[in-house]
Structure formats: C-alpha cells, structure tokens
Amino acid sequence: MRISVFGLGYVGCVSAACLASMGHEVVGVDVNPEKAELISRGLAPVVEERIGELTREVVQDGRLRATTDAVAAVAASDLSLICVGTPSAANGSLSTAFLERVAEQIGRTLDGTRRHTIVFRSTMLPGTCEDLLIPILERASGLKAGTHFGVAVNPEFLREGTSVRDFFDPPKTVIGESDRETGDLVAALYRDLPGEVFRVPIPVAEMTKYADNAFHAVKIGFANEIGAVAQALGIDSHRVMDIFLADRKLNVSPAYLRPGFAFGGSCLPKDLRGLVYAARRADVSVPLLSHVLPANEAHLQRAIDLVIGADRRKVGLFGLSFKPGTDDLRESPLVEMAERLLGKGYDLRIYDANVTLSRLMGANRAYVEQRLPHLADLLTDSAQEVLDHAEVCVVGCKDQAVLDVLTRAGDRPVIDLVRLPDAEQRRAEPGYVGLGW
C-alpha cells in the first residue's frame, strides 16, 4: 500500500519506518525540513531502541522517503496517517491547530477521482474527528466522508523507549471507522500483527486512548503513594507490591505498578488534563482523576525535599528525559526538578546518555529551551564528570555508565529515584535513600 505519514515525531517516525519494513511504500511529511532531511539520509530524528537501524534499512531499500510537500505526498499515496501533536494548554484544553492544518491541506488535495483514506493516529478528545476534522475535510474538498473518501481514528499504544517492539507486538488494535470499506483498509495494515482488533465507532476509538493513559497515570500515582506510606512505616514497598501483583485474578497487570519517580512525558500529563477538562465542561465530577496530577506533583516534591534534606549545594543529576531509553524531555519530572533546584541556587551538573542538545528538535527542543534555557552549560557527556562535581548524587536512570560511576560514589549521599539494581544492599548504607522504598 502507498502511505503518507504526517508528523515525524516519535509516533510518526516509528509508524513510518515499521510500515515500510512491512513492505509498504511510505513517504513521511513534516513541516520541519531538518526532520525530512534526516530521514532522507537514513537517520531517525528521535532516539528509540531499533529505530536507527530500521530507518536506515528501509531508506536504503527505497521503501521510505521524506518531504515537506504535503500535496505531493497525498498525491503519491492511497492512505494518509496523521501523527501530528496535540499539545495542551495550562487549563487542560488541547490544541488541535496542527490537526486542523493537516486536514485542510489534505482536503484541498482531494479531487474525488480516487478514494483516499485519512487515518488519525494523534490523541484527541472524543468528538474532535466527527465534529471538527471531518467538516474541515469535507469543506476543503467539497466531498463527502464515508462516500468519496474514508476517515478513521487509529490510536497508537506505543511506549517511548520500546515503541518499535510495541508496534510489532501491540496489546490491541483499535479502529474507529467512518464506513466499512475504510475499516477494512486500515485493518489490512495490521493483518500480520498479533493482538485483538476492535472496529468501533470513531468516538469510542478516541476515548480508548484516554481510558488507557488515565489508568496508566492512576497506576503510577497509586504505586508511588503506597511506596511513600510504606517507607514512612519502615516497610519495603516492592515486597508489598510483589504480593499485590501476584493476584492476577482480581488485581491489574504489572505495567507501571512499581513505586518509582513521578510520571511525565508527552502523553500522561497532557491526556489527564484533557480528560479532566472535558469532564469539567460536561459538569461531571471526577475527583480521583482530577487529583492524580497533584498527587504526582507531591511525589516530585518528595524527591526535591530529599535533595534539600541532604544539605549539600553541588548536585549531580543522572538522567534528564522523562523515562529511560528516550531523549524526550517534554514534561519530564527530572527537567522540573532541575529547574527548581537551579531556582533555589543549587550548583547542578547533568548526565543523560540519550540526551544530546544538538539532536533535540521540534516540540522537544522548544520545551527544554523554555524550561532549562542554560542546559548546554549544565549537560555533560561524562558520567564521571558529574560524579566529580557532585556532593550529592540524584539518580534518575539506570544506564550502565551511571551504575559504573556510582560504585565510586564513596560517602556521597545517593538519592535513588529509580530503585537501582543493588538498592536492597544500598539501603543499609549511610547516605543512601530511595524514593518510596
């Protein structure tokens, strides 16, 4: 199948490369010429497990190319996969500006001579597709959705850091379809992949993503609060959760249910705000969901209080991205921690093996430039250099280089946000403290 993928961030880049590796002819589209140029050279614009090799392979084989020309991309494809961002405002409302722009561009390109299918992969609140995007497509094209062109919502369930694996081994496939023919075409994309396929009305597909991410966020918040209480009572929270997770009949899956650091990233905080905002507009009370982000903020503050309690001014921060295995800094709790510590006058040095300032781009770069404009002065490519600087070590990742230098930490206080592999032994050492265990 000939496919155009709009938006070459984490979801778009991975979707484009994976679909191309399955034998499809794919053209990636992005307004950022640097991203298009990177892919054209066989380089992935994001840091992800396996994405570099996969991108190089499919570009060399001629199955993936990239452009900034949306009109040419639509003309050269039968299906357009929309993976642009939907950033949130402070009140939780989502910006649909990028979705509207792409819908307008695609709509103007459609002429009715052949049936084109538009598939929205971006996360958006229920009603966005039918009430906003389809009218834009119909108005711009003069054609009728479900008749002259197909529309579907196909939410992704890709975790940053393991997104290539998740693409080829999805927990499920959800297709919200405007008509049967469209659903058949989208289902054909994933025919050879495992997992149950759900073909549902478009609003159901939109809501599914929010249900998943809200629950993931609730699970993390729940585990972290249990960890905080257990620690206060002198109990190892991970032993408690081992027992909790052994009940596979009444309790939930193990995913995310390990006490650790606060959650962040481009999905969970944004989607929680969006869902709470939508509930508020509908005059529906959601006290649990509306308190998950404050609970997450309280957990972040616990970590900051541990640093303050160490009473040392030179801080070595190991890790900066919102989770291991990615360079995504958007709404990273480690970025927030760094910003607050700098504001309090701490002398900070940072190491993250996946974060290179020159490689950051788009919304990711804009976010860190806003929150940590002096990151270039703080970031180093040497874990040892950070250790040499540090009077107290704050550990937010488990990279091997970090594990190696921590064996030389000596009597420096170590604040563990991720439960290091040797946490059980370290708990008996003076100066070591875990966040929730």
Q: Which residues are catalytic?
A: 267
Look up residue 133 and give its two tokens.
Answer: 């995007």
74 CB contacts (<8 Å, ≥6 apart)?
4, 80, 105, 106, 109, 110, 116
Task: Tell whether 264 is in a known binding site.
Answer: yes
In the numeric block, the tokens 């393991």 are attached to 162
In the chain, the amino acid numbered 286 is: V
Contact 367, 329 (CB under 8 A): yes
Helix (H) or strand (E) run with residue 314 in it: strand 314-318
Contact 241, 258 (CB under 8 A): yes
Dump the DSSP string for 137-154: HHHHHS--BTTTEEEEE-
Task: Tell whether 219 is in a known binding site.
Answer: no
Task: Tell whether 48 is in a known binding site.
Answer: no
Task: Tell whether 35 is in a known binding site.
Answer: yes
Contact 385, 351 (CB under 8 A): yes
Task: Tell whether 156 is in a known binding site.
Answer: no
Look up residue 172 and give its two tokens.
Answer: 């499920």
Task: Tell whether 157 is in a known binding site.
Answer: yes
Task: Tell whether 144 is in a known binding site.
Answer: no
Task: Tell whether 323 is in a known binding site.
Answer: yes
Helix (H) or strand (E) run with residue 229 in it: helix 202-232
Question: What proportions of the chain, in percent to the nearest 5, are helix, strand and coil?
Answer: 45, 15, 40
Task: Tell whether 294 is in a known binding site.
Answer: no
Task: Tell whether 270 is in a known binding site.
Answer: yes
Task: Tell whether 195 is in a known binding site.
Answer: no
Task: Tell whether 330 is in a known binding site.
Answer: yes
| Annotated binding-site positions for substrate | 157-160, 209, 256-260, 264, 323
| Annotated binding-site positions | 30, 35, 86, 123, 157-160, 209, 256-260, 264, 270, 323, 330
| Annotated binding-site positions for NAD(+) | 30, 35, 86, 123, 160, 270, 330
